[in-house]
Structure 1
Amino acid sequence: MRVVVPDRPGSLGAVATAVGAAGGDIVGVDVVEHRGDGFVVDDFLVDLPGGRLPDSLVTACRTVPDVTVEFIGHYSPGANLHRDLEAVEAMTDEPDRAEEILVDLVPGIFRSGWGLLLPAAGSTLKVQRASGGAPEDDGYEAPWLPLTEPTRIAIGPDAPEPWQDVVAVGVPVGDTGQAVVYGRDGGPRILDSELARLVHLVALAQVIRRTAPAMDAADDAATG
């Protein structure tokens, strides 16, 4: 559940109390962004007992002054939720597949949405790797491709139907012509802080893949 909370003492506790009163058990809180207008964007991971509707959490949060619920999603028990450091560790385990692993983990890192790894293919959308739920319309002539810098993707009216309600950003993979795209169907909006984290993770994936051969050679020399 993504909640916009006033950046003042007691606000987070008031939200936690409201969630508890609605029967929810908060099992994790991530601060996503400190905004410049006196508000903070937080992601709450809440365990809701059977029979309780997610709407009850929204109603409860709205009883707290100046609090807004931007989005609420559902994760099955045992869903793979990740943090940035866990993604780096996973990429380090298989450096030759760093970008593919990152795409697989993107939904869990950002708590919702999907990821794509696009090969160098000019303006034609081709999918090299896709996480679950991603639109995989190969052949889409995307006006936002190729990517040369981190970009908020503007989806035009001529896009295929699976892309019509998409909110997405894209980050080029160095000078390879590839791109990592992260999106959500119908929102919520992707924050500047989330785009910055994706840029950082893509850069780390490239470093991990490039330095792996040198690290392996150093290990061989040390044990030889």
Structure 2
Amino acid sequence: MLRVSLPDVPGSLGRLASAIGEAGGDIEAIEIVEKRDGCAVDDVLLELSPERMPDSIVSACNALDGVEVLWISRYAAGGNLFMDLEVVEDLTSSPGDALDTVIDRIPMAYRVDWAARLRRGAGLDGAEIVRTAGGAPEELAWPSIDGPTRLPDDDVTVRCAAPMGPDVVVMGRRGGPEFLDSELARLAHLLELARTIARS
């Protein structure tokens, strides 16, 4: 998966796609993650032929005027991406399980390695883990937050958290990229939707 910043003008995405193709990358999906200050931040899921190195993709992208590769890494989940609307569809199919289902779906929807739902309790720093998905740590400290927030990382994993009623949902990415404001906002909205659906 490649996260790239490019000018938000007609033709930019086409030039990016051409450069990736010429460097040996096969694009499977593109998602616009954020738009800001005349730029777009896109996540590009691609497949490389075995003889190609990721460096060639990075060089081809960075050679384009106004384009900057922010992050590139292997993405083991493949091309079957759950986006927010698909998650909501899953939540509404079984409202009674919505609070668990949203945790289960977060790793795919946000391209993170793990997610966990915490509740105030007697565990580490007053946190009890209620539900996890992916390779979540066995212990997590309670983050005192009022809204969606980036948390300090541990030099390996970047983390963020958002309240879900009295609970808190934490998610983490090993190696980055950093969480964008748009991702924090999406997470807050999705968690509130899960709570609303669970009450229905």
The answer to whether the superposition gives a TM-score over 0.5 is yes
Partner of 1:39: 39
| Deviation per residue, 1:185-208 (Å, 9 max, x gap) | 232111111000000100110011
Which runs of 5 or more structure 2 residues have no equivalent in the other structure? none
Residues 9, 78 of structure 1: alpha-carbon distance in 2 compared, 3 angstrom cutoff: closer
| Superposition map of 1:133-144 within 5 A | 133-138=135-140, 140=141, 142=142, 144=143
Secondary structure of residue in 1 paired with 2:176: coil
8 Å Cα contact 1:25-1:46 kept in structure 2: yes
Higher strand share: 2
Question: Aligned-pair RMSD on alpha carbons?
Answer: 2.0
Q: Give distance in 2, aligned partners of 1:102 and 1:207.
A: 12
Partner of 1:192: 181
Residues 48, 164 of structure 1: alpha-carbon distance in 2 compared, 3 angstrom cutoff: closer
TM-score w.r.t. the length of structure 1 is 0.79
Q: How many residues align?
A: 197
2:104 aligned with 1:72, yes or no?
A: no
Partner of 2:152: 154
TM-score w.r.t. the length of structure 2 is 0.88
Counterpart residue type for residue 157 of structure 2:
V
Q: Give distance in 2, aligned partners of 1:168 and 1:201.
A: 17
Partner of 1:221: none
Partner of 1:121: 121
| Superposition map of 1:45-60 within 5 A | 45-60=45-60
Which runs of 5 or more structure 1 residues have no equivalent in the other structure? 156-162, 212-224
Query: How far off is 1:114 after superposition?
Result: 2.1
8 Å Cα contact 2:117-2:132 kept in structure 1: yes
Partner of 2:10: 9
Counterpart residue type for residue 44 of structure 1:
V
Q: Which has more radius of gyration?
A: 1
Identity across the alignment (%): 44
Counterpart residue type for residue 167 of structure 1:
V
Query: How far off is 1:164 after superposition?
Result: 4.6
8 Å Cα contact 2:29-2:79 kept in structure 1: no
Query: How far off is 1:23 after superposition?
Result: 1.2
8 Å Cα contact 2:112-2:171 kept in structure 1: no
